[in-house]
């Protein structure tokens, strides 16, 4: 699907990450030092941030949103739309976005919703929030993306354990009739759903306690099925098949060439995949951001996190034309070409362990 986004611009970004850092290179507990260095060489991941158990993805997003609202000097009541993108909701219900509305002090007239998407989630939510603003009397929106991917991992899974970290980000959008059009392309292929999956925890394979005790075998099965399964070979094949076409399709829709793009920021899956993608799409190295060494794969947060970490001054003085893309779990993919800047410098903060969590008792 193709979309033209009219009269909406990105005016700010803020990232929040845990203080806790784990490195298999510096502390190769389940790997030998040689294995850990090979992982770093191929994935580009040196360390990850791990959120303490009493906090959730929503808490990182709230911390980022509070900082961003302050830096923009936005009255929280002026925000008309809030979208929380996560595959790690606080509760089965209510939607975490409803609790965020109260915590952040948004108006009761604000439209707030959760969106359950992973690697493509930032692009999808930016498009949805933009369309909500363009089709209403709304003027301002917050897109909050966050996941605690580290909690899905088996402690003995050497294939996934070094890859995933935790982060939350906030992106501010604003309606502006004079802003140039943005262009977006999206796609889905549910046959790939089996290749990145957590089988248990939903209604198909519930983990809700039963009146009769489960057998030891059932408990062991639920334990493993509640953790992430990742088929790395299938992910690599999917990426090289779908994403270069995604790049060419969104360039064609925007009627620009890759030389017209000032920066490309794709979902930070791993360095090996991103380098192959860059070469296949024929994108110059100096216009292509790879930044996961300190954070790992952070799912829906990875694109704005990379911007907040590495492009702090890139958008502060002039307008830049960027391509932002996401691809992965689902299979789901999307890319957007948009102008950004001048705007307040994107920043990254650390969330302290004593940060007050979201709660139903608000």
Secondary structure element (H or E) that encloses residue 113, with its range: strand 111-115
First to last CA, the chain: 40
- pLDDT for 216-235, tens place per residue? 888 888 888 888 999 999 99
Phi-psi region of 154 (alpha: psi -120 to 50; beta: other; left: phi over 0): beta
**51 three-class SS:** coil
- Cα–Cα distance measured from residue 273 to residue 260, given in angstroms and rounded to the nearest whole number: 24
pLDDT of residue 222: 83
- pLDDT for 339-350, tens place per residue? 999 999 999 999
pLDDT of residue 4: 98
Of 295, 290, 44, the residue nearest 166 (C-alpha) = 295
pLDDT of residue 99: 97
- Cα–Cα distance measured from residue 140 to residue 244, given in angstroms and rounded to the nearest whole number: 33
Q: Is the peptide bond before 277 cis (omega within 30 degrees of 0)?
A: no
**DSSP 3-state percent helix, strand, coil across the chain (nearest 5):** 35, 25, 40
Token pair in block for residue 138: 């709304």
What number of residues does the chain have?
Answer: 362
Of 253, 214, 235, the residue nearest 331 (C-alpha) = 235
CA 295 vs CA 87, 112, 246, 311: distances in Å? 18, 28, 25, 15
- Cα–Cα distance measured from residue 235 to residue 240, given in angstroms and rounded to the nearest whole number: 9
pLDDT of residue 220: 82
pLDDT of residue 324: 98
- Given a cut of 70, the residues of the chain with pLDDT beneath it are 362
Only one residue has tokens 């000097």, namely 73
Q: What is the CATH number of domain 2-191+228-351?
A: 3.40.47.10
CB 122 within 8 A of CB 85: yes
A 10 A CB-CB count for 212 gives 6
Q: Is the peptide bond before 94 cis (omega within 30 degrees of 0)?
A: yes
- Cα–Cα distance measured from residue 191 to residue 176, given in angstroms and rounded to the nearest whole number: 39
Q: At what angle do helices 33-43 and 271-281 cross, to 10 degrees?
A: 30
- Cα–Cα distance measured from residue 314 to residue 307, given in angstroms and rounded to the nearest whole number: 9
The model's pTM is 0.96
Cα 343 to its chain centre, rounded Å, is 21
């Amino acid at each position: 699907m193709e979309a033209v986004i009219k009269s909406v611009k990105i005016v700010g970004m803020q990232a929040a990450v845990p203080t806790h850092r784990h490195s298999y290179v510096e502390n190769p507990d389940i790997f030998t030092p040689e294995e850990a260095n090979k992982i770093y060489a191929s994935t580009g991941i040196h360390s990850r941030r791990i959120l303490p158990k009493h906090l959730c993805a929503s808490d990182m997003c709230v911390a980022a949103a509070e900082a961003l609202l302050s830096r923009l000097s936005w009255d929280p009541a002026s925000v008309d739309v809030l979208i929380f993108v996560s595959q790690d909701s606080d509760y089965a219900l209510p939607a975490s976005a409803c609790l965020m509305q109260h915590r952040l002090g948004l108006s009761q007239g604000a439209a707030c919703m959760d969106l359950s998407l992973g690697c493509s989630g930032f692009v999808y939510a930016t498009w949805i929030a933009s369309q909500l603003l363009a089709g209403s009397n709304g003027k301002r929106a917050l897109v909050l993306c966050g996941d605690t991917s580290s909690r899905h991992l088996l402690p003995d899974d050497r294939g996934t354990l070094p890859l995933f970290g935790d982060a939350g980000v906030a992106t501010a959008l604003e309606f502006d009739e004079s802003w140039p059009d943005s262009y977006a392309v999206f796609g889905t292929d549910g046959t790939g759903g089996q290749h990145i999956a957590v089988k248990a925890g939903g209604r198909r394979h519930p983990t809700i306690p039963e009146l009769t005790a489960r057998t030891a075998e059932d408990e062991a099965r639920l334990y493993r099925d509640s953790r992430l399964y990742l088929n790395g070979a299938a992910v690599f094949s999917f990426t090289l098949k779908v994403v270069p076409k995604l790049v060419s399709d969104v360039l064609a829709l925007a009627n620009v060439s890759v030389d017209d793009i000032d920066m490309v920021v794709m979902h930070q899956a791993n360095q090996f995949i991103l380098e192959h993608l860059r070469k296949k799409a024929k994108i110059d190295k100096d216009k292509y951001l790879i930044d996961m060494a300190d954070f790992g794969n952070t799912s829906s947060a990875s694109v704005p996190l990379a911007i907040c970490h590495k492009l702090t001054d890139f958008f502060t003085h002039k307008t830049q034309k960027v391509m932002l893309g996401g691809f992965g779990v689902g299979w789901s993919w999307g890319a957007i070409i948009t102008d950004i800047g001048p705007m307040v410098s994107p920043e990254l903060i650390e969330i302290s362990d004593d940060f007050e969590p979201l709660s139903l008792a608000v």
